[in-house]
Structure 1
Amino acid sequence: MSKPKPEKERVLKKPLKKIVTKTISEKDINGFFDENEIDFLQANVSLEVMDFLRESLKERLAGKEIKRGKTEDFIKQALKEVLLEVVSQKGKGFEQVIKESKKHGKPACFVFLGFNGSGKTTTIAKAAHYMLSKGFKPVLAAGDTFRAASIEQLEHHGEKLGIKVIKHQYGSDSAAVVFDAKKFAESKGYDAVLADTAGRAHTDKNLMEELSKVVRVNKPDMKILVLDSLTGNDAVEQARTFDSFVGVDAVILTKTDVDEKGGSILSVCYAIKKPVLFLGTGQDYEDFESFEPKKFVNRLLEE
């Protein structure tokens, strides 16, 4: 029969635990954010998102015991998980939408929305190039009948890519242009219609009414918002405005090769809870990367 361990040896275990472990407090989490707040703001992460992240980590971590000296690592790992949840919004990709439409014997209709200067028309060309590379046959619809030279710009891309462009006169009804493009694509066996739209200021009521009509008449399979990542927090306001008027299904952010960290991606995902499909990373048609949430979060946290 073994002898009981001395009482002295047993009572030492509790103090020892206090020495090697620590309970995370809200003060620890506040300290972490106070220390890193400027870096996040410089990366275009909005204050609203900062507050959300801070509160989320308090809910998840406050009161948990960890090894001493590991507080920052523990908080950073939890932050990474929250960031991934924010940017990993569920949604369909181009291929899935096109294949689903083909099952119903019709071309998929993609309507591109966005403010002037966001790179919308170039993004449409990149999307068309991407679809061609996947074996699909797209047609372009010159639905921006307001901006000078917008139709010629889209035709230029169409010529370079060998893609048909459906157009009307400037000042024409944008909804009618997209409608005609859909009819053409269906009659000729095309797989997809990529429609450009006007991009006046997102505060322009007439523009929003016009876009609402385009959507109401044509019932697109996907409404894609194109945002300039360099506009910072204004991208969030644009996203909310377009989403409230016409409903956004997915987002593409441009100029991310210039926007070093791309915190506006995080802010937009948080604001409208819609997936980011692609990132524009340059001027060439090939500069069009599928968005990878893990890669983005690692870059944001410099891992």
Structure 2
Amino acid sequence: MQKPKKEKKEKAIKKKKEEVKEEKPKPVIEKPKEEPIVEEPKKEKKSFFGFKKKKEKPIEEKKEEPIIEEPKEEKPVEEEKKGIFKKITTKKIDQEQFEKLFWELELALMENNVAIEIIDKIKQDLKQNLVDKPLTRTKIDETIKNTLKNSIKEILEVDKINLLEKIKEKKPYVICFVGINGSGKTTTIARIAHLLQKNNISSVMAASDTFRAAAIDQIQHHADKLNVKLIKQDYGSDPAAVAFDAIKHAESKNIDVVLIDTAGRMHSNANLLDEMKKIIRVAKPDMKIFVGESITGNDCTEQAKKFNQAIEIDGIILTKADVDEKGGAALSVSYITKKPILYIGTGQGYNDLKEFSSDTILDNLGL
């Protein structure tokens, strides 16, 4: 009876062991199956996406190449824009627009002591080059500037005179200096004498300003400093007689040039102008030079105009040009008289006399 019980127990134990064996492999098989299936694709996705990012970086760099090319494509676009802009800004200026445009320029010229007659001339020159002409904005500026330059040069370079060359034409060469009191006339004569000395040209001075004793003393002072002969007479003597004596002295001493100082007189004083005309008749100067102060502006222009009407001057010397920042006086004097500016005074010394250049005035006017 005991054997069959034992056998039953042993059979039951075997069955349990077999069941345990069957259960163990199931979870073991499932786990490795689940782990590689679930985890492996996740790892592959992460790494693949990561490569994509890495690959995208060089792809982005490649995209930068067309970005470099884009400005090349934009250039024609910019050029097209410029072309459109040119079409918009290219226009014809009518008479009304020109008047508005010229108004500011006219004010600037007037502030620089430019005479009305010159402003009118410049206006006509500009009108010919601007009105009803298709021009861009930049072209308008260039046209205005170039027209101003050409107009001013045309005015200032009228019948230019080389004084040192002129002097060689005749001996003695007689020069008469005219102008109002305080214009620097006597000092200018001394500077001319010094200039002649530097060029080995001899000269003699004539003190024909006999209306002021101080004037005779002043020119004597300069003559002594420069070691130049001065012909003079007493205060109140006949100015024309002094000039005549100086010419005769030059002829007898073989002197190259006679420099005649005259009494400073206002251009509005008819009696004094008549006296000056007498000096001109007697001395018969080869050149008559008006000396005026540059800084007096339109007053200087009016003086030159009156002297030119009275004796027909040949040339102009402007003093105190170093303190005249405007330059309009030179332009106006030359245009009104139609005579050239020979020299400008630029200081207090004998060497402060410079040959006139239109470029100086253009610089002063900002051109």
TM-score (norm 2): 0.74
Instruction: Kindly report which structure 2 residues correspond to 1:95-110, keeping only aligned pairs within 5 A, or say none.
Output: 95-101=164-170, 106-110=171-175
| 1:23 Cα deviation after fit | 2.6
Instruction: Name the residue aligned to 1:238.
Output: 303
SS state at 1:149 partner = helix
Instruction: Name the residue aligned to 2:66.
Output: none
Instruction: Name the residue aligned to 2:192.
Output: 127
Instruction: Name the residue aligned to 1:94.
Output: 163
How many residue pairs get aligned? The number is 285
- Residue 138, structure 1, aligned to residue 171, structure 2: no
Instruction: Name the residue aligned to 1:12.
Output: none
| 1:47 Cα deviation after fit | 2.5
Asked if the contact 2:86/2:136 (under 8 Å) is kept, the reply is no
In structure 2, distance between residues paired with 1:110 and 1:175: 14
Instruction: Name the residue aligned to 1:3.
Output: none
Instruction: Name the residue aligned to 1:76.
Output: 145
In structure 2, distance between residues paired with 1:68 and 1:119: 46
Asked if the contact 2:125/2:147 (under 8 Å) is kept, the reply is no
- Residue 297, structure 1, aligned to residue 366, structure 2: no
Asked if the contact 1:29/1:54 (under 8 Å) is kept, the reply is no
SS state at 2:168 partner = helix
| 1:39 Cα deviation after fit | 2.6
Residue in structure 1 matching 2:91, options 14, 17, 22: 22
Instruction: Kindly report which structure 2 residues correspond to 1:172-251, keeping only aligned pairs within 5 A, or say none.
Output: 172-251=237-316
In structure 1, distance between residues paired with 2:95 and 2:198: 51
Please, which moves more after superposition, 134-143 or 47-56?
47-56
Please, which moves more after superposition, 22-31 or 211-220?
22-31
Change (3 A) 1:215 1:119: same
In structure 2, distance between residues paired with 1:186 and 1:287: 30
AA at the equivalent of 1:100 = E
Please, which moves more after superposition, 55-64 or 199-208?
55-64
Instruction: Name the residue aligned to 2:233.
Output: 168
SS state at 2:158 partner = coil
Structure with the larger helix share: 2
| 1:224 Cα deviation after fit | 0.1
Write the deviation string for residues 245-292 of structure 1: whole angstroms up to 9, x where unpaired: 111000000111111122111111111100000001111111101000
Change (3 A) 1:74 1:27: farther
Instruction: Name the residue aligned to 1:11.
Output: none
Larger Rg: 2
| 1:19 Cα deviation after fit | 4.0
SS state at 2:183 partner = coil
Write the deviation string for residues 128-163 of structure 1: whole angstroms up to 9, x where unpaired: 111111110111110101123101100100011111
Asked if the contact 1:229/1:262 (under 8 Å) is kept, the reply is yes
Asked if the contact 1:91/1:249 (under 8 Å) is kept, the reply is no
Asked if the contact 1:143/1:198 (under 8 Å) is kept, the reply is yes
Instruction: Name the residue aligned to 2:223.
Output: 158
Write the deviation string for residues 10-36 of structure 1: whole angstroms up to 9, x where unpaired: xxxxx9984463334334543333223
AA at the equivalent of 2:156 = V
Residue in structure 2 matching 1:67, options 125, 130, 136: 136
Asked if the contact 1:29/1:58 (under 8 Å) is kept, the reply is yes
| 1:68 Cα deviation after fit | 4.0
- 5+ residue gaps, structure 1, are 1-14
Instruction: Name the residue aligned to 1:45.
Output: 114
Change (3 A) 1:100 1:299: same
In structure 2, distance between residues paired with 1:32 and 1:121: 45
Change (3 A) 1:16 1:233: closer
SS state at 1:196 partner = strand
| 1:171 Cα deviation after fit | 1.0
**Root-mean-square deviation (Å):** 1.9
Asked if the contact 1:110/1:220 (under 8 Å) is kept, the reply is yes
Instruction: Name the residue aligned to 2:182.
Output: 117
**Percentage identity across aligned positions?**
48
